[in-house]
Amino acid sequence: SDLANTSKTDTTAAFSFATPTGATAVKVQQSTDGGTTWTDSTTSAALDQSSTTATVTGLTQSTAYKFQVVVTGGSKAGNSNVVDVTTDATVTPISDLANTSKTDTTAAF
């Protein structure tokens, strides 16, 4: 299925893949324990036998995941290659930054 990660954020990961002819179902699975246990991923849109992209949602920030696509039906049914993705950290913007004093060469916050 040639699974590839195309982008990621702190809570999502997007993928592209090739779905073989004759497939009857496609799903993305994820693992956080190195591939020992796999669970079905939540995607932003339903997948069907003609899907070639998926965006997994509901991920935890700064977490290492393994992903695979599972294809049912057709001559190439089975699991894709495994792709490693570590989600981004959430960056909290500074909202209460205030200048308390300044001179011509310094500034204090």
Strand ranges, E, within 64-103: 64-72, 78-79, 83-86, 101-102
Residue 11 in tokens: 């809570």
pLDDT for position 107? 62
Residue 36 is given by DSSP the state: S
Residue 3 in tokens: 């699974």
pLDDT for position 45? 96
pLDDT for position 20? 80
pLDDT for position 16? 97
Mean pLDDT by 10 residues, the chain (109 residues): 94 93 93 97 94 97 97 88 96 73 67
What are the structural domains of the chain?
Answer: 4-89 (2.60.40.10)
Contact 24, 72 (CB under 8 A): yes
The pTM score is 0.81
**Total length of the chain:** 109
